[in-house]
Amino acid sequence: MKHLNKLNQLLDKLEPESLTEKTSKSEKLSERKIIIGKDNKVENKIQIENSAETKPETETQKKHISIKDWSEDDKPREKLATKGKSALSNAELIAILIGSGSRSESAVSLSKRILQSADNNLNELGKMSLDELMKFKGIGEAKAITITAALELGRRRQLSDIKDKPQIRSSRDAYDAIAPLVMDLQHEEFWILMLNRANKVVKRVKISLGGVAGTVVDAKIIFKKALELPASALVLCHNHPSGNLRPSGADIEITKKIKAAGELLDINILDHLIVSEMGYFSFADEGMM
């Protein structure tokens, strides 16, 4: 009996070890299970993933933040309403026109790209055709037409001052009065500013339209228009699509011819401007009148 008790004590010491299954080195940690509860009922299962077998997280592309998720101060429409139109950048104004971008790009970001393609110059942007605008993802025909119409409206707005009869005091005043009409053209046009006795512009008249290299100017047509109004003075204007502001020999000759005819008819020829995107050349400023 004494020996039997000792045997039982020995078995009690060995039993926990013998009943516990050791995890072999080859066993995957992710397959280990801990069973809690009575009657071998599984109440909870914990999986321990081996760090060597953990799969890297899939990288997802960062999606752009939609304008509707911006703060109120940064939304173009709200910004215009609260801070005024002058607080908006050109890109933000264009973003209001197009309304939305694409799934991967906001309207403001898209507008910035469009502007960058035109060297961030609204005059250059105004020259872009519908097809060129529609090359940008997110710009369909309707949006391209909206941008084109808005820029054309802005150009025409510059002409509305004619109702106030702007006064010509310098070559710069004359340039401001004619530049919106001719500076973006890809062909030559010859215009005259018709002035009253106070040197205020009362009418702008296109005399001729030509090609890239030049246009024909008929002095008789110029003075016919001037006498019909009648005009007290004229400013001659034409553009150079090439951007070169130097007057040609033909420019100098026609200026002399028209000025001499004006003196006979008592119509003063104040200046002759050559206009381009680079600025303007004034015959009067250069002492050539």
Q: pTM to 2 decimals?
A: 0.52
For 13-17, 33-37, 160-164, which range has the lowest pLDDT when averaged over its residues? 33-37
Fold assignment, 160-282? Cytidine Deaminase; domain 2 (3.40.140)
Alpha-carbon gap, residue 40 to 28, rounded angstroms: 22
The predicted-structure confidence for 54-97, as pLDDT tens digits, reads as follows 444 443 344 555 555 554 445 888 888 888 888 889 999 999 99
Helices (H), 99-216: 107-117, 122-127, 130-133, 141-157, 171-182
Task: Find the helix or strand (DSSP H, E) in which 4 lies.
Answer: helix 2-19
CB 276 within 8 A of CB 244: yes
SS3 282: strand
Each as own residue / partner, the long-range contacts of residues 120-126 (CB below 8 Å, 24 or more positions apart, any chain) are 120/90, 122/90, 122/151, 122/154, 123/183, 123/184, 123/277, 125/151, 126/151, 126/152, 126/154, 126/155, 126/184
- Between 103 and 73, residue with greater pLDDT: 103
Domain boundaries, the chain: 67-157, 160-282
Write the CA distances from 201 to 89, 160, 193, integer angstroms: 33, 12, 6
* DSSP letter, residue 75: S
List the single range of 183-187, 223-227, 257-261 with lowest mean pLDDT.
183-187
- In this predicted structure, the answer to whether residue 17 has a pLDDT above a threshold of 90 is no
Q: Are 166 and 200 in contact (CB under 8 A)?
A: yes
Q: Is the pLDDT of residue 14 over 70?
A: no
Q: What is the pLDDT of residues 263-273, one digit of tens each?
A: 999 999 999 99
Amino acid at residue number 132? E
CA distance 19 to 17: 6
Q: Looking at the predicted structure, is the pLDDT value of residue 157 above 80?
A: no
Dist CA 21 CA 193 (whole Å) = 104
Write the CB contacts of 15 (distance below 8 Å, at least 6 apart in sequence): none
